[in-house]
Amino acid sequence: MSSEEAFSSTITDWLFINSWWLLLPFIMLLVVAAFIVAFVLLLYMISPLISPKPLKLNGAHVVVTGGSSGIGKCIAVECYRQGAFITLVARDEDKLLQAKKEVEKFAINDKQVVLCISVDVSSDYSQVENVIKQAQEKLGPVDMLVNCAGTSISGKFEEVEVDRFKKLMEVNYLGSVYPTRAVITTMKERRMGRIMFVSSQAGQIGLFGYTAYSPSKFALRGLAESLQMEIKPYNIYVTVAYPPDTDTPGLAEENKTKPLETRLISETSGVCQPDQVAKIVVRDAVQGNFNSSVGPDGYMLSALTCGMSPVTSITEGLQQIVTMGLFRTIALFYLGSFDSIVRRCMIQREQSKTADKRE
Ligand SMILES: NC(=O)C1=CN([C@@H]2O[C@H](COP(=O)(O)OP(=O)(O)OC[C@H]3O[C@@H](n4cnc5c(N)ncnc54)[C@H](OP(=O)(O)O)[C@@H]3O)[C@@H](O)[C@H]2O)C=CC1
Ligand SMILES: CCCCCCCCCCCCCCCC(=O)[C@@H](N)CO
């Protein structure tokens, strides 16, 4: 008796049946069940990867906080060039009017409007709510909100004024919560919309000199992830943008007091132009991508820090799976070089201090 016959006769003996083919229906049932389980598992894996329908910017109402300068102004221009109606929100009225004029140059039809409203997005929720109401009365419901108002301070932890920690959380974090809170109900009712948070590469990695700034940008990621899970069934998509250093009045201001370490470390990913950044982040928001990164370092940082953040396309998911280990390996070298920058700067400072004393 061959081993196969021995095996089938053991099974048939064991099940008290006289022929193994009586098992055939059960085997078929098992196979079908396995297929169903595999199919359901596949559906579960694929369902978060299905991309949303792109937003049509032509005729849409886009509100840009921080739209009077730098990245925000370029985002407004980018949306206006695609036919959107724009509301610019910031504090300084002169800067707002100046920005309005610049944006209006890029009109593609004579119906387009640029509205300016002055408010501090971080101080009082009811004021922000009012501003959004005014904007909706004039230009209709908000289709896309861009939270770009923000500011930065760099300096060693013990040298940053204590009240700056609060200030940055207020402007960068609460200043994004308030406008979002003011638009969300209408977006949910209309079952459509886009919300962008402008974080920073310093919202993905904590760096020397950014003990006050980084946490306020990390916070946006937590807000964005939680909010996205709530509003995805309403067809509203959240985008978090992580730009590197970008050539804006804000960066020029920050550079005046930037520690040498922070400057040397930030130089790793170079300086971008705000119109380039705007093109990329607007494209990602239109497509409904959760993550928007700029440049090769930005791409690596985003893949590396994706964690449990939402995925918006099959390619994105696959790229993250495949590249994670490799990018962590590269990251170890970066971290080593950052440590050595910090050490070298410290030694240099100490040497110049002792030299000063001797003189
Ligand atoms: N430039 C860079 O290197 C990078 C910048 N970012 C982020 O991008 C965003 C824009 O930066 P950038 O273009 O450089 O900045 P700018 O300083 O050039 O512009 C900031 C804008 O925000 C407005 N703003 C600031 N505070 C408030 C407030 N409390 N209420 C309402 N509006 C406010 C400003 O207008 P006003 O002062 O009149 O209110 C201005 O329109 C910021 O969130 C920044 O953190 C991220 C990565 C890199
Ligand atoms: C595989 C791993 C790759 C790692 C690459 C790491 C690169 C780190 C560079 C960080 C630059 C931080 C810029 C902050 C810009 C900013 O927000 C302020 N300028 C605002 O004014």
Report ipTM for this prediction.
Answer: 0.99
Q: Considering the candidates 80, 213, 237, 242, report the single residue annotated as catalytic.
A: 213
What are the pLDDT digits (tens) for 25-58?
A: 889 999 999 999 998 888 877 777 778 999 999 9
The C-alpha atoms of residue 129 and residue 126 are separated, in whole angstroms, by: 5
Summarize the confidence of residues 201-214 as an average pLDDT. Answer: 98
Is the shortest distance between the CB of 152 and ligand 2 below 6 Å? yes
pTM of the model: 0.92
**31 Cα: distance to centroid of ligand 1 (angstroms):** 59
Choice from 92, 174, 200 to test ligand 1 binding pocket (greatest atom count within 8 A of CB): 200
**53 belongs to the catalytic site:** no
Q: Considering the candidates 199, 200, 269, 292, report the single residue annotated as catalytic.
A: 199
pLDDT score for 122: 98
> What Cα–Cα distance (Å) separates residue 283 from each residue in 29, 57, 292?
48, 10, 9
Summarize the confidence of residues 103-110 as an average pLDDT. Answer: 97
Shortest-distance ligand to the CA of residue 116: 1
Is the shortest distance between the CB of 301 and ligand 2 below 6 Å? yes
**Percent of the chain predicted with pLDDT > 90:** 84
H or E segment to which residue 193 belongs: strand 193-198
Q: Which of 179, 132, 126, 172 lies closest to 149 in space, CA to CA?
A: 172
3-state secondary structure of 257: coil
Is the shortest distance between the CB of 330 and ligand 2 below 6 Å? yes
Is the shortest distance between the CB of 268 and ligand 2 below 6 Å? yes
Is the shortest distance between the CB of 129 and ligand 2 below 6 Å? no
Q: Considering the candidates 122, 217, 292, 302, report the single residue annotated as catalytic.
A: 217
93-104 and 70-80 helices, crossing angle to 10° = 30
The number of the ligand 1 atom at minimal distance from the alpha carbon of 95 is 38
pLDDT score for 186: 98
Summarize the confidence of residues 186-205 as an average pLDDT. Answer: 98
Residue 185, token pair as written in the block: 């109900």
Summarize the confidence of residues 280-298 as an average pLDDT. Answer: 97
Give φ, ψ of 5 to 5 degrees: -60, -40
What are the pLDDT digits (tens) for 120-159?
A: 999 999 999 999 999 999 999 999 999 999 999 999 999 9
pLDDT score for 199: 98
Handedness of CA 194, 199, 205, 211 (dihedral sign): negative
**96 Cα: distance to centroid of ligand 2 (angstroms):** 28
Exposed, middle or buried, 8 (CB in 10 Å: 0-12/13-18/19+)?
Answer: middle
**213 belongs to the catalytic site:** yes
Is the shortest distance between the CB of 247 and ligand 2 below 6 Å? no
CB 65 within 8 A of CB 94: no
Mode of pairing for the β-strands spanning 144-147 and 193-198: parallel
pLDDT score for 49: 76
CB burial of 343-353 (b: ≥16 within 10 Å; e: otherwise) equals: eebeeeeeeee
